[in-house]
Structure 1
Amino acid sequence: MKLMTDGRKLLLAGVALTACLGFALNAQAQTCTTGNWFDVEGSPAVGKQDGDNRRYGGPCGMRVQVDGTPRYVADDSPGDEATYILRFYVFLDEAATNDPIVLFAADNDSGDTVYDASDNQIEMIYDADDSSGGSIMLSVREQDGTTWQSTSVPDVGSGWHSIEVSWARDSSTDTILNVDGGSDVQLSADTTGIGIENAFLGVLNSVGSTGFIDFDDFDSRRQERPGRLCRGLTVPETERAALDLEDVNKIFDEFASGGSRPVGGQPDYNEDGAVDLDDVNTVFSRFAGGNEDCDLNR
């Protein structure tokens, strides 16, 4: 999700409808906010990169406590959508629980943006205790209302993860799950007659006691998968689609300032949750080695 001015919601009308709902910076107060979202439950925290927050792109991200209380943001911009495509970034290293965590869900309840698992049509779960070393599981409800189809990506490892899903209302179209830009995994489900009305992001179930999860860069749309962002790029990709010495200098400045001067874009090149000299040196190496094109750095 591109992080935008407080209260701004980017909605492009028509079949290519897109919603980029940010954990954005309030231009006047220079504080982070969830004001772009339709509803907020359980007081998830938003802020800049510091000891109490972590972000992937732009100045702000969302930290959600994993403490037994559901905490999430809700988007009501879908409206009986026949296609729904989403991507977000999530940092799971500090979740501090082996219980399955519902990270994302989408429902078909047009009258309510309070999360109710019984309405879910799409569900995303992180299971740290999976025997494969931690997995991301996608489940889709079929049109009969009771049958679920699932697929998963195992051994996701540490650091920031990009999670992308492409769903459609159809009797035979596959739903696609992609984690970290790897190979697509697919499931087949009969979703005839189902429309997506609301989306929820955060910790949706009552789980854990002392952990937290960081979220950023949520992007939902009805056409064309968003893919991964360009690591190390500190300006919009529409402005420049390759790494440059400008990025090296900006990332170093954020590091040298102790995070008090956060840069735009995606400065955490190695996606380990911290903007530091490793990111500075790696971006310089990619630029100096002729590997600066964004398509080589996703």
Structure 2
Amino acid sequence: MFLKMSAKHIRIFLLFVWLIILFWQTQPLSLIQEYAGFAFLGLLGAIFANATGAGGGVVFVPFFNQLEFSVASSVATSFAIQCCGMTAGAVTWWTFYKQIRANNQPQSLYWRPLGKTLLLTVPCSLLGLWMVQISPQFFAHFSDPNSLHTGFGVFSIGLALAIFATVFLLRNQDFNTKLSLIDYIALPTIALVGGGITAWLSIGVGELVAVYLIIRRFNVTFAIASAVILSALTVWGGIVFHIFITQAIYWPVVLFAGAGAIVGGILAKQLVLYFSAKNLKLFFAGWIFILGITSLPF
């Protein structure tokens, strides 16, 4: 009861802070009229992100491309929104993990590798992210909009095909509960590469780690939760660069999309637990495949 009340109080506090920020603006009513629709975008992106382990950039970046945001603004704004939505989802999934472990539920056995998985992936993801962000040559090369669109499209299509390929593994309920030597090698490597991709596209590390864990026959819900928590910590590690260096965050969009993303991050867990993992992944894979195709510059 205390935990429920505490969560309720936190949400009320966040709502209060959001209202203060909104009405601190010079023309809050005009701001609401012009940007309130982005709250739905944040809600949709966060639900997909936190229900599948993929970053919210899968939804945000194509939409910002259609609005003709610059490459820097698309990526930076996506990072900022994900700091809201992925954090809400990460806290929700972590609370779920603590609850099933405290109640000694049978499924808690599948979640035993969570701590080790995060220790293996988070530092390497941040390292990969920062290596790319501090490389001026890298960003000069990838500042071309066609580069962003092509990279995003190719990555999304590859991710969708990988998710389709893993669906047959969901029939096997004999899940792994321990990391093996190959996981101790593969997870840091994947996280390092994924962190670099995330710096470029605002998506990458969560998707790659989630797909890997599923291929390795770990529990799907555990894989999603691990990816969400990893993605949340990664985007927080990268947002400082966009606040002080690129200064490309479109804050009015973040104000509303971020609020929607927080709600989506809280609701996503219920979506995963309500629908079958197979149907959820098929739907999501189809969605990002279409986004990938439409992002290609042709």
More strand by share: 1
Q: TM-score, normalised by structure 2?
A: 0.28
**Greater RCO (CA < 8 Å, at least 6 residues apart):** 2
Q: TM-score, normalised by structure 1?
A: 0.28
